[in-house]
Amino acid sequence: MESVKIDTLQGKSLLGKDLVRQQVNPKQDSLQIANYLSTLSTYKSNPMNADFIIWLGRRQAYLGDYKAAIGIFSEGILKFPEDARFYRHRGHRFISTRKLDKAILDLSKAAILIKNSDDVIEPDGIPNRLNTPVSTLHTNIWYHLGLAYYLQDDLENALTAFQECLLVSKNDDMVVATSHWLYMILRQMNKNDDAKNILIPIHEGMNIIENMAYYRLLLFYKEILSEDQLISNDSLGETEAIRYGLGNWYAYNDNTEYARVIFEQLIEQGNWAGFGYIAAEAYLSRIK
């Protein structure tokens, strides 16, 4: 197990608190440990293989060691400076560790590198229930770039990035994930008519494989689901995405006090690596 020892301190939250990852549990994390060790062995067989480097970084991140993953992706950038995938993945983990300026630099670089290139499916490291990847290199770059801008409250640039993401979203999962952030951004910008237009293509019966929380939130925004229905499932009600989306809905509907309560509960109980958790941090840090 020495090969998977993790630095417990991964950074500081946007509220100035330590981001702590517990050491891996040999029983609970056995599959991720096995995958990591196998990927490490493959990487050692050929450290100049770009795919091997990427997967080593991804497997390291799945174990919660984002700092180590950033180092691996940085190695990949030194070896393959024109490969957008390394900037995409390092940018993602800069978001995880709250280094938002660095995330924006990396993801903006990735967006430049993919210009005029064909999109490709990104294989999943942790497969969904149908073992069907739903995101691509292009969607992931624009999505994470939009998120990084959003977390900095740069709504104009966040809007542009998510609009680009929607243009290259080819399945219902990516459509609902991207539309969710677009709707929230437009509401916060007081562009309510544009926000309503985002909801027009959203309907019951969409083919959602993994982004069910975002889908349910959109149905809630569209008044197809009530708040009770939105949070009726305990597992859904506990997800960072649902809780952040609901809190944010209260915020832009002029109930900022209840939004604050929801966000504080999310920070107390949630997973600090979740995007909704980070967004709640960003909100609370601004109102402080």
In this prediction, residue 173 has a pLDDT band, given cuts at 50, 70 and 90, of: very high
Same domain, 207 and 113: yes
Give 11's DSSP letter: E
Domains of the chain: total:
3
Which of 95, 74, 85 minimizes the C-alpha distance to 14?
A: 95
Among 57, 81, 105, the domain-final residue is: 81
**Residue holding tokens 């500081």?**
12
Q: Does a structural domain hold residue 219?
A: no
Using alpha carbons, list the distances in angstroms from residue 116 to 51, 111, 113: 22, 10, 9
Indicate the pLDDT class of residue 27, thresholds 50, 70 and 90.
Answer: confident
* Digit-coded pLDDT (tens) for 193-213: 999 999 999 999 999 999 999
Q: Which of 214, 239, 265 is the last residue of a domain?
A: 214
Of the candidates 241, 214, 246, the residue with the CA atom closest to the CA atom of residue 228: 246
* Domain encompassing residue 185: 84-214
52 Cα distance to chain centroid: 23
Residue whose C-alpha is closest to residue 210's, from 176, 251, 245: 176
Q: Are residues 68 and 90 in the same domain?
A: no
Q: Distance between CA atoms of 47 and 70, rounded to whole angstroms?
A: 16
Tens of pLDDT, residue by residue over 72-119, are 999 999 999 999 999 999 999 999 999 999 999 999 999 999 999 999
Do 60 and 77 fall within a single domain? yes
For residues 139-167, give the mean pLDDT: 98
Given this model, what pLDDT does residue 2 score? 43
Of the three residues 163, 185, 214, the one that is the final residue of a domain is 214
**Which residue, chain included where needed, has tokens 């640039």?**
157
Q: What is the mean pLDDT of residues 164-174?
A: 98
209 and 88 together in one domain: yes
More confident of the two residues 128 and 59: 59
Q: Is the pLDDT of residue 215 over 60?
A: yes
Q: Are residues 89 and 199 in the same domain?
A: yes
Q: pTM of the full predicted structure? A: 0.95
pLDDT tens track for 35-84: 999 999 999 999 999 999 999 999 999 999 999 999 999 999 999 999 99
Per-residue model confidence (pLDDT) at position 1: 38
**Bridge partner residues of 136 (DSSP):** 121
Regarding whether 168 and 114 lie in a shared domain, the answer is yes
